[in-house]
Structure 1
């Protein structure tokens, strides 16, 4: 409250100086009484005055007199800058007093505060999003753990440059991370600003980053993720999943045979499965389209769900991750890595979705594949008038599933003929 009253008094003093200076302007640039009232109103509200605040108030008074008020208000710019200089100086004093009180509460002084304490001071400003705060804590824990207890005043460029250099170039099996180095520089700069109201020799650190980016030979990483499993790789990948834990084996095969998104399948509950009708319902909360979506199943995927039903008695999840069944699969990264060791095919969950789409397009029309995987349809007519029953969609689901199984070298059983095949494709 004290700071607010001091700021209001400062604003009053600055606005008085402005008005006294502006009062001497004659002719078209003269401010009306309405403009003065607008500025006074902002002072009473305790608003923070900026150059645009003054221009806005001037426009308010001029608006009814002349449409060129915006141009005329530029005459106030230099006067606004003079006043803002005084305002900012006073604001810096207020912030310095607040920092001293905060340090005193933490039992530290500007000379003894450590990097950890300074960062917590910065985190406590409330200006960082939760996700940003989590990311900052992670990179600090990984890269700055050796200097967290060092007094902030002793962290000069000569101390920090080697750390930044290692992050950019990569070390101890870690990949080069120039963007992470930028985050660390921003954090250290913010920590010093929070304590001393001044930054480290920022130009030095930025020069280090720029120079290292140019000089360090960063080898391009080999792309490990296959955008899609090619037909010649599918038999090997399918065989490699056979040795996997039944839970992850069924989950990965379910993905490649349905083309569902990872979380559409991972969070699938038995309340969303109708084994009698051979349907699963993706609720609007998980569907990318934001609407409930029914997905018909082919024979092989139906058998996978039937097998899961017997294996997870008592759990509400189709793919639970614990014996008590309270949680479900989130990301099968470890299973993907184990399969990669067996067959040298590293296919992410989304790569399995792309694999399904690639094989399905060999036997189905594009819009039919879009209906199966939940993509946006081509136009308004398809969206609103081309409604199809689950039984009609089942024919397309079975055709796409059979195409994947055939490429994987597995025997297929087509339960119904496909009505619409791509021209020239075998029935």
Structure 2
């Protein structure tokens, strides 16, 4: 049916048994769709110049739009089609231009199997705190000047008026850069080009504070004293969480694991009979079976198993396992003579392997589950089952015991003159 679409004409339309279309005689391609329920919606239909694709677009319902208002919108859509622009792509572009930083963050962290819980938490935390003022803004509205100003503000004031740490500022903008890149890949402009052609975070390249790699570890001369102290403290530890913390730290020195991997270790990942444990989802997403030295096996065999708690190092805390043995690390730092963190124990393990035990770097990388860039290892060599590295793991554990014995002997020598003088 064709007629000039006016209010009077539309008011006289009766709904039929199926969808009916009433086309406007003034503007070719402009029409009204009427459903059997009586719903009336203005539409526009035409072919996109150059592509030959036919496009039908909803303008809006009658009542919200008058016939004249809908006709004006239809003319604009038809004009764009004659210029080779598909109105559907333009609508997607308009929608994409409104996507907020928070919406991009939500989509980014919700991808199944892509991120660990800790990574999700860090990303959401930065959007919720560092970039709170931008969270509800369209992500395309974030500019280079905004990034530079916020970065400098973080360095001088931090989040709560305190001087910020460069490491935190760098991490925050690494997160923002990743979110903007993701938005650029997921959303396109009407012509098919990326929604965000240039990531504004890239402008910080010359502004970012370059951080020196951390090298903190237990120094060679203190390794024995540290290992000795841990053993002595364990013999007098009667509180469950205290014992778990000490055993966790000892396990870190015996394996070189990341704290998150060791603290969340479950009994079903451990095979004491064959002397290995399994990391199904480590930080580098490379599942691996790792060897246990005799000392590590002995440590685990002595660990009590708690009913209804699957963790090797259980805790009364909410997580169910020890997460951060902070108090113990402060105490251990006093023995080491410098501040020590759980990750510093990983560096200590690596230095013992490379420097003291002369274990080649390739094997040391495997023992610490570092991603190797060796082509043969990546494509032709089994780097998942590493039980064959048990001799190297044993060599490191034996070195710790040797150094502890030396430290114990030195302690006796230092005490002897005092005893005689007394």
Structure 1 length as normaliser, TM-score?
0.47
More strand by share: 2
Structure 2 length as normaliser, TM-score?
0.48
